[in-house]
Structure 1
């Protein structure tokens, strides 16, 4: 008796019926996915279908376990940065290396008029339970007016979710930071209008990842990114977005630069500075990077889960083509054309290698994600399910023919679920 048969015989009738229902759902999803791909690939006049003639498509090469890349393998080969080193800079401030209880952490030092309000949005992610696809936040530190010698420390869920008022010197020694990081900008005019009359500064303490992001991998032309790696990256990114949505939060700044690479070569979605509670009434004019934003966000009509799905679609196109969306266009021009003229990334960008079926299907998913109306876009959950099916099918079996695909997928699902 085979291993599968032994597992099936050990199941109760209820378990067999339940797992058979799961197999049926997967089979129906594969049929739908295959039908959509054939429809779009065979219709060259469809505006948003990738311009890949079906005759030019080739089956994916036989899957072989790739040799770990020196930049994507595990463990990450880069030497750990020293304490106090600067990991990155931006208009918000800088990210540097700190330490908490002997473990190195990343500390985002925010300065300026919007520092405290940005920290308030970052703090929305503090109560979230651990997720392998989201950056874990340890604490958010903001000034505690009217006495500027104290700071408010909001701890994450893994640290008990406490809210403490501590002296600045205590916070500095707790995270091994200099006291210079606990001050606002030198220009007084910059700090005007900061909420509650406090100085414009704030700290966001999170787990330490590698110095690389998905954007740096995309821009490194010397680094090959197989379609299977791209598929895994997109599935991890979509899983992080789906987890946020399931806990009532919308990210609103999904882009390759906010997808951080861990030392194990996995992606984690970070930077919750534009995050919003989908059940709250608060409206904030903060907009993330323009080229990834949905038209309803740029119009200011409302921001929901579908806005993150739109950003995932643009990110998918960016990863597949390794080309920045709307190059050489001013952000104001992008806003006008996306909102008023329905501008989207071009239908086709010549890839480095001949396109595979997986390329075409991922392009099709991107097109569905950036639909004009939010209700026409797939949910993050359905997007994760589709990407999981594509990963489970494997490049050697996806898709030569619908019958062969269903047969191989059904056998693998039986092994997985039974």
Structure 2
């Protein structure tokens, strides 16, 4: 589904002019030469970008109450150039400033990509006028305003979830697109998937994402075609792949594991684990703990097929997990042709 925002609101994050913004500059929003202070949180190597927010065109809804919040910042409803948008502020005074900086730059790792199942970034800046956060603002990101609900809220709500195959297909499609562009999300969970008024799922919150190195001679999207990289410890422990819990390198199969937990939640509307956090972590890694597949929903013919697919997504052997592209094919068939479970 095309984005509801007019194309005129989406100036490119990486314009051909290659005007760069210093991560710590507090002057004009668009700089021709990076201004660096001592020990700045530099942009990732090879990722110059331009601050293109036109602050005079930005209006934050009053009262400025956040519509979402996380460890490093908050999201507000705003208006930009006459259209409704979501404004995310990353706070300078976060409990972990270094992690906040990493999260901000990670958010921009996919900013240049556009896909129906990804929340679209419109503009970003490392500086802000006083009325928009000033000295307490490490970074500002303007995004399309998808809707008011995420999938966790849908799971917790009263309405039926018969459309879960469509939702799962949307998530897998977004992941397949990211993996083809050498990006892993690393925090796939229902709360990070927004639902549009038209019922389209869009992956949000790229604060844990990583840009991977492409291995020569392999096709984009293949597990073997991406060189794994180590990530900083982030993400949600209930959805984090066991290899990441062991401190191993991140690669696309880690997203597939998280997708499997999310899909199980869409079907069962249950929390994947209960009990002490450390005990769960130990059991996932050492005892291969996974959400139960003995529920009634998995006892039908279609449910058994789903249980088999989930088992593949949760494999302790990461290369044995299906690719996101394979998941799209399977789920699309279920969504279009199969009866509801």
| Shared fold, TM over 0.5 | yes
Is residue 119–residue 140 contact of structure 1 (8 Å, CA) maintained in 2?
A: no
The correspondence of residues 120-199 of structure 1 with structure 2, limited to 5 A, is: 120-128=105-113, 130-142=114-126, 151=127, 168-169=128-129, 178-179=131-132, 181-184=133-136
State yes or no: 1:368 paired with 2:304. no
Match of 2:195? 261
What is aligned with 2:179?
A: 245
Matched length:
263
CA distance in 1, matches of 2:86, 2:134: 16
C-alpha distance in 2, partners of 1:206/1:85? Answer: 17
Q: Which structure carries more relative contact order (alpha carbon 8 Å, separation 6+)?
A: 1
SS in structure 2 of the partner of residue 290 of structure 1: coil
Shift of 1:234: 0.5
- Aligned to 1:236, the other structure's residue is in SS state helix
Residues 1:96 and 2:76 are matched in the alignment: yes
1:105 pairs with 2:85: yes
The runs of 4+ residues in structure 1 deviating greater than 6 Å are: none
Corresponding residue for residue 231 of structure 2: 284
1:137 deviation in Å? Answer: 0.8
Query: 1-side partners of 2:301 and 2:170: how far apart?
Result: 20
Alignment partner, residue 164 of structure 1 = none
Does residue 203 (structure 1) correspond to residue 140 (structure 2)? The answer is yes
Correspondence 1:334 to 2:270 = no
Does the aligned pair in 1 maintain the 2:231–2:250 contact within 8 Å? no
Higher gyration radius (CA): 1
Verify: 1:270 aligned to 2:270, yes or no.
Answer: no
Residues 62-99 of structure 1 show CA distances to partners (whole Å, capped at 9, x for unaligned) of xxxxxxxxxxxxxxxxxxx9553421223222210122
Residue 255 of structure 2 corresponds to 308
CA distance in 2, matches of 1:309, 1:281: 14
Does residue 380 in structure 1 map to residue 327 in structure 2? no
Alpha-carbon contact 2:229-2:249 (below 8 Å) kept? no
Q: Which runs of 5+ in 1 are unaligned?
A: 1-80, 143-150, 152-167, 173-177, 185-199, 399-418
Conserved in 1, the CA contact under 8 Å of 2:161 and 2:266?
A: no
User: TM-score, structure 1 length as denominator?
Assistant: 0.59
Q: Distance in 1 between matches of 2:134 and 2:182?
A: 31
Structure 2 residue ranges without an equivalent (≥5): 1-59, 214-226
d(CA) in 1 for partners of 2:280, 2:89? 30
Offset, 1:271: 0.6
Q: Secondary structure at the match of 2:146?
A: coil
Q: Is the 8 A contact 1:320 1:359 kept in 2?
A: no
Q: Which residue of 2 aligns with 1:213?
A: 150
Q: 1:225 aligns with which of 161, 176, 181?
A: 161
User: What is the rounded CA distance, in whole Å, between the counterparts of 1:347 and 1:338 in structure 2?
Assistant: 15
Q: CA deviation at 1:355?
A: 5.5
**Helix, strand or coil at the partner of 1:336:** helix
> More helix per residue: 1 or 2?
1
- CA 1:329/1:321 → structure 2, altered by over 3 Å: closer, same or farther? farther
Alpha-carbon deviations, 1:184-241, whole Å to 9, x = none?
3xxxxxxxxxxxxxxx722222100111111000011x21111xx0111100110010
* SS, match of residue 286 in structure 1: coil
Instruction: Please give the TM-score of this superposition, normalised by the length of structure 2.
Output: 0.72
Note the C-alpha offset of 1:290. 0.5
- 5 Å-filtered alignment, 1:75-94, equals 82=61, 84-94=64-74
Aligned counterparts of 1:297 and 1:141: Cα–Cα separation in 2: 31
